[in-house]
Structure formats: C-alpha cells, structure tokens
Structure 1
Amino acid sequence: MKIIDWYILKRFLVTFVFTLLILIPIAIAIDVSEKIDNFLEHADLGFYQVVNEYYVNFIIYYTNTFMPLALFIAVILFTSKLSNNTEIIAITNAKISFTRFMYPYFIGATLVTILSLLMNHFVVPNSSITRKKFEKEYINNRAQKNDLKYISDFSLQLTDSTYIFIRNFNTETNSGYDFTSEVYDGLKLKSKLVADNIRFNPKDSVFSIQNWRKRQIYKDRDSIFSGSKVDTVFNFTPKDLIYKSALSQEMPSDELIKFIRISKKRGVKNLNAYLVEFHKRTSLPISSYILTIIAVALSFRKKRGGTGINLAIGVAIMFLYVFLMKISEVLGAVAGVDSLLYVWMPNIFFGLIAIYLYYHARK
C-alpha cells in the first residue's frame, strides 16, 4: 500500500469510530429517558446491575446495528472534506483512477464487514441472552411477561410418525395440562397417550405425566393402559414450545441453523421469522460495501453546498435503506414467501444504485 492509501484508510477508520462514539451515547440517552421509570420501580435494582447486565449488552447490540450507518456517514464526511480541501483534485491529477482511489475504502469496508459478521453470528446473540433476561425481569410489562410465559394450543411433530398436542403450558413452572401424544404408521394410528397433567424436570430431562391413559392399537384388537403417574422421555423440551421471533436473536448462528432444521422435521409450518433473522446477520454486514460505493460516489466531487449537502443526501439515502430493510423483514416473515429474497432485496436495490453511481463517477 502507498502512503495515500494509508492516509485514506486511517481517516476512514478514525472517522468511523468517531461517528459510532457519537451515535451510541445518543441511543443510550434516549433509552434511559424511556426506561428510567422501570428502573426506579425496583428498589433492589442497583446502578451496577443496570450497567453490567443491560447497558453493556445494549452497547454491543447497537454498536453492531449502527455499523453500516456509521460507516456510511463517516465515508461521506471525510471524503467531502478531501474534496473541499482539493486533495482529490491532486489525486486525480496524479493519474489515479476512481477505481484505484476506492482501494483503501474497500479495505476499510472489509474490516468493518468481517467485524460485523463475527458480532452478528456469535457475539450479539450471546449478549442478547443477558439483555433479554434483564428486560423480561425489570422492563417488560405484565402482559408481555404473560405472553412469553404461557403457551396455548400448541402442536409439534417430534419425528416422522410422532405428534404431540398441549392445551396449555407454563414455561416458568415447566408444567401444563391436556397433553396428547400420537404415533402413526403412515396414515394409521398405532398408539395414543393422553395425560391430564405434564411436568418437565430440567435436572433429569424427563417428563412426569399424571392421570394418563394409553391406547395401543393392533390389527385385531386394542389395549388400554392407565395410571396415576409415570416418568417418561420425549424428544422435546419446553424451550421448543416457545415459538417467538425474539428467541432467534438469542441463538448463535450454528444453534439457529440446527433449530430451524429440527423444526422443519417436526412440521413447524412457518419458520420465516427465524430465517429472516439468520439471513439478516449476513446481508446487513455485506451492505457495508454497497453503502461505501454510494457514499464515495456522492461526495467524490466538490459541490457548492459542501459537506452539508452531501451529508443531507446521505442521511436521506440511509433512512430510505433502513425503511426498506424493515419492510423487507416484515414481508419476509410472512408464511409462504422466500425470506432470503426479501431480506436481500434492499441490498439488491441499492446495489444497482451503487453500480450506476460507480460508473457515473468513473467518467
């Protein structure tokens, strides 16, 4: 790398970090103003616990979320400054092409992309576990807590031939009622187990069923068994009953892929909310390249409005990108659609814009 490359890359990274250091305190200030009442409601909640369990993980989450935005704003700011100081004119007079000029930018974008990918797939999901647990305990209202606590009318396919149904289950007490397990041979019912109550023991990973009745079906006769209580094993845990998109945010990508694969085998109909979360972990970091090209192409030439007009255009484009990203996530979570296509749609759209601006800037 030449001196000019190190100069641009250094300015790139310094401005990027500086922009993040501006955005994160703003996000913290807004969040504190919204949740201060929730913190004060709990007399046993100390300052250290709030910072250690919530805001440390809050910073990790929003640092990762703001990375593309910070990169985009940073590139516009320091490239506009290079242009206003006529440094870019000196570079072009030295017969350096626009493509060669982009070289240090792509190195910087690659560093940000690799960091974002690692955080998205491994660091953020693990930190979200502590943050979500804190929110559930101290921030969520009673209705939200009950929504996560009680599971009603849930059915699940455990294997190709085994199905279960639970009328109601409490994920805090690990107990429920009206439990049914059915085993099929093709379309023919082989056995059916019904229990009034069911309880999961996390220590032994076994289920205790009470007031149970089992019907075993043979070719020429049926056998019925019953009892007051028995311990048995099923191929699921209470965690499998919680079908919430928020749960996917707490899973590292390897665990999330395994969860999706097992859920498909069990016949869960709509897994798009989980697929959207998984695809988003890659699409958002890759957008760093697209946003870098757009930012450089917009601020490469000196404009009458200077940095201000470039920044205004950039912020407008960034908000449009975030708007399309949120819409695509909602549409991608709908059953029956291609979640991969919807998640990548903002990148495809802005990628075409980036290609146009790139070829226009080369001229």
Structure 2
Amino acid sequence: MKIIDAYIIKKYLGTLFFMLALLSIIVLIIDVQSKTPRIENNGFSVTYFLVNFYPFWILNLIITFMSILVFISVIFFTSRLANNTEIVAIISSGASFHRFAKPYLIASLIIAGFALATNHFILPWANIKKNKLEPYTYNQVNKDELLGNTTIATNLNPFEYIFINNYNREQKKGFGYLYQKFDKDKKLIYQIIANDVTWDAKSKSFLLTSYMERWPQKDDSEKLANGDQKKQDFGLPPEELFPDKLVGQNKITPDLIKLIEREKIKGNSNVNTFYNELHQRTSMPVSIIILTFLALSLSSQKKRGGLGINLAIGIALAFVFVFSFQALSVVSENKSMSPLLAMWLPNLIFGPIAFYLYWKRANQ
C-alpha cells in the first residue's frame, strides 16, 4: 500500500498546487486590472505594486482560501479515481476504506500544519507589507476610513485618556489634543492640552505644540505651565495606540494576544475584530482536515453525472463555507455572537457532517 499512499498523496498535492497556481494567476490579473486606476491616482506605478504589494497579497489570498481549494482539489482528483474504477480496485485488493483514506489524512495534516504555522507566524510578516499599501487600492471612502481624518477618544489604561479632535492616520498628526490622568479615586491629577500633536518617528514620541499643563491640587487650587513644544512618550507608536482594523493582521500570535489584552483594558469597541483574527488562525487549518474527509466521502463513489456533479456539489458547499465565515465574522464584530463560537461554528457544523458521511461510506 505504500505505493498507493505515495500515488494518492502525489495526486492530492499536485492537484492542490495546480489549483493554487491557477487561482493566483487569474485573480492577480483581474485584481491588477480593476485596481490600476486607483493605484495610479495615488501616485504609484503598477510595477511598484507588483513587486511590493501583490506577492504578499497573493500569500494572504492563498492561505485564506486554502481549505476551500483543498476541498475542490480532493473532489476533483478523487472523482477521477472513482470514475476510472481505481478506488474499486484498491478496495477489492483487501484494503479497507479506512486504510484507503490514510494518505488523505497524512496529506491534510501536512497542509494543515503548514497553514497553522503560516497563519500564526509567517502571514503577519507578509501582512505588514501588504497592509502598508492596501489602503491605496481602496475606493476613497474605505481609504479615508484607514488613512483619513478621524476623532480619537481612547484610554491607555483605566487612569489615562487621550482625545484628539481631528487626527490624520496617514500623516500621523492632528489638532485639538487633550491628555488626562486620574488617580484610583477617579480624581484628575494631571492634564495637558495642545493645539497640535505630531508623531516624531526619530524620537519615537509625540511632539506637542502650544501646550498648557494643569495639576489640580488638594486645596482646589491649580498649578499651571505652558510652552511652545513638549514631547510626550507613551511607549507605543500611533498604530498601537489608535489601532485600525488591519493592525491585528500584522501581529504574530503572541503579540496579537498582547494587543487584545491592551485593547480590552482600553475598552476598544473593535476588539472582536482582533479576536476573530486570533481564532480564525487556528480554525481555518482545522477545516482543511474536515473538508478533506467531507470531499473524500462525497466523491469516492462513481455517480451518474461523473466528475461534473461532484464538482458542482463541491463548489456549492465551498461557497456556503466561505460565506458562513464572512457572515459570522460580521455577526461577531457586531457583538451578536462570541468570536470563539463564530470562528469555530462552520467547523462545528461541517465536522459532524463529514464524520457521518465518511462513516457511512466506510461501512458500505
């Protein structure tokens, strides 16, 4: 059976890599054509994006759709094995269906392990490169959401608060700045206001201009000070202090967990977006194993209609699976469902279905 195992694993991986290459080429061509006007309107060349953006974007795309491509690939090559009566020959030689499924398990575990390591530690590195340029491929409304002007109202911890009336994420500067610090009894102990605030990358601190400081005293008096410029350091860059929805994608898992804990303390309303990112990094690789056995169960018998009907079923289920992840992600972000349940629910639904169909097929 070792020869058969190697044969099936070769078919599995070969079909998958072909699907990955085909998808990457087709999607790349379509995406470049559709986004070229926006790229050029933002002052970049398509060549620059092909070198500095799309390789990392493609990696993100491949990992995102890996489980679905595995599903379709397994249906495709297993249906061909069934139609050529190769599966019948293998089973007739005395091998059980469980033994026949062994190379499918091995291949799916290899791919799932690769996807798991990539999701947690490699993809975040690629996302740093991708997300730096991705807003310039958006329409103006979505671009402004990430790089345009916004109002900042956040707390660094239960005792420190920052308010910026108008802050530009792209330029990392704003005006109408207010910082307040309270004691454990929620009494104000320090406040500073400034006309302008600018991130100084060289000193890794904020530069305040035209500022005034205030220290309330216990006798209800105040100590005041003012000046033209002052630096204020919070130990974190603006991307960490005022995170957007893409920041979580840039963090390896240990750093993402720290980000989530920090944003929970701050009371960030977008924290579920980061939780979705965290849980999806594990749930998607697990789905590769589930969908492998679901595809095997659906396509390992010769059917009237042959390969076509199996592919039709596979593509339909693939769309349901992708849509369910996207829909549940939105539900979770709206706080209608916990992120843990939302990101694992497709696996919790498809897992028992795959087990039932596999067991039914193995006992025929």
* TM-score normalised by L of structure 2: 0.91
CA contact (8 A) 2:214 2:223 kept: yes
**Alignment check: 8 A CA contact 1:164 1:182 kept:** yes
Once the two structures are overlaid, the 10-residue window that deviates more, 334-343 or 140-149, is 140-149
What residue in structure 2 maps to residue 294 of structure 1?
294
Q: Which amino acid aligns with 2:245?
A: S
1-structure distance, mates of 2:177, 2:12: 59
Find the counterpart in structure 2 of residue 361 from structure 1.
361
Q: Per-residue displacement from partner, 1:285-333 (whole Å, max 9, x unpaired)?
A: 1100110111010111111211111111111111111111111111111
- 2:89 and 2:244 map into 1 onto residues whose CA distance is 56
> Contact 1:148/1:242 (CA < 8 Å) preserved in 2?
no
> Displacement of 1:151 after TM fit?
4.6
| Bigger shift: residues 275-284 or 177-186 | 177-186
Q: Are residues 266 and 131 of structure 1, via their aligned partners in 2, closer, same or farther at CA, if it must alter by over 3 Å?
A: same
Q: Is the 8 A contact 1:175 1:199 kept in 2?
A: yes
Aligned-partner residue type, residue 61 of structure 1: N
Match of 2:173 in 1: 175
Question: What residue number does 1:37 align with?
Answer: 37
- Equivalence for 1:310: 310
Indicate the SS of the match to 1:219: coil
Match of 1:220 in 2: 219
Unmatched runs of 5 consecutive residues or more in structure 1 = none
Do 1:245 and 1:273's aligned partners in 2 also have CA atoms closer than 8 Å?
Answer: yes
Matches within 5 A, 1:113-152: 113-137=112-136, 139-152=137-150
Q: In the TM superposition, what whole-angstrom CA distance separates every residue of 1:273-295 from its partner, at most 9, and x where no partner exists?
A: 11111211111111001101110
1:74 equivalent in structure 2: 73
TM-superposition CA deviations, 1:21-68 (whole Å, max 9, x none): 222222122213312334555786263x23211322232222222321
Equivalent position SS for 2:250: coil
Of stretches 320-329 and 333-342 in structure 1, the one that deviates more from structure 2 is: 333-342
Structure 1 residue matching 2:65: 3-state secondary structure: helix
Quote the offset at 1:119 in angstroms.
Answer: 2.2
Cα distance in structure 2, aligned partners of 1:344 and 1:125: 21
- CA deviation vs aligned residue, 1:70-121 (integer Å, no higher than 9, x gap): 2111111221122122221122223322222211101100111112122222
Matched-pair contact (CA < 8 Å) for 1:20–1:66 = no
Secondary structure of the 2:215 match is: strand
Listed as ranges, the matches of 1:43-58 within 5 Å are 45=45, 47=47, 49-58=48-57
Matches within 5 A, 1:194-233: 194-229=193-228, 230-233=230-233
CA 1:360/1:50 → structure 2, altered by over 3 Å: closer, same or farther? same
1:252 has 2:252 as partner: yes
Q: Which segment is superposed worse, 306-315 or 224-233?
A: 224-233
1:57–1:131 CA contact under 8 A, matched in 2? yes
Tell me by how many angstroms 1:241 deviates. 4.6
Name the structure 1 match of 2:266: 266
1:155 corresponding residue in structure 2: 153
Which shows bigger deviation, 11-20 or 201-210? Answer: 201-210
* Aligned-partner Cα distance in 2 for 1:171–1:287: 36
1:280 aligns with 2:280: yes
Gaps of 5+ in 2: none
Q: Is the 8 A contact 2:205 2:234 kept in 1?
A: yes
State the AA in 1 paired with 2:88: I
Q: Which TM-score applies when normalising by structure 1?
A: 0.91
How far did 1:233 drift? Answer: 2.5
Cα RMSD (Å): 2.2
Q: Using a 3 Å threshold, how does the CA distance of structure 1 residues 235 and 303 change in structure 2: closer, same or farther? A: same
The 1:16/1:145 distance shift into structure 2, 3 A limit, reads closer
Q: 2-side partners of 1:50 and 1:8: how far apart?
A: 38
In the alignment, which residue of structure 2 is the partner of 1:335? 335
Letter in 2 for 1:211: S
Deviation at 1:236, TM superposition (A): 4.2
Structure 1 residues 207, 54: closer, same or farther in 2, change over 3 A?
closer
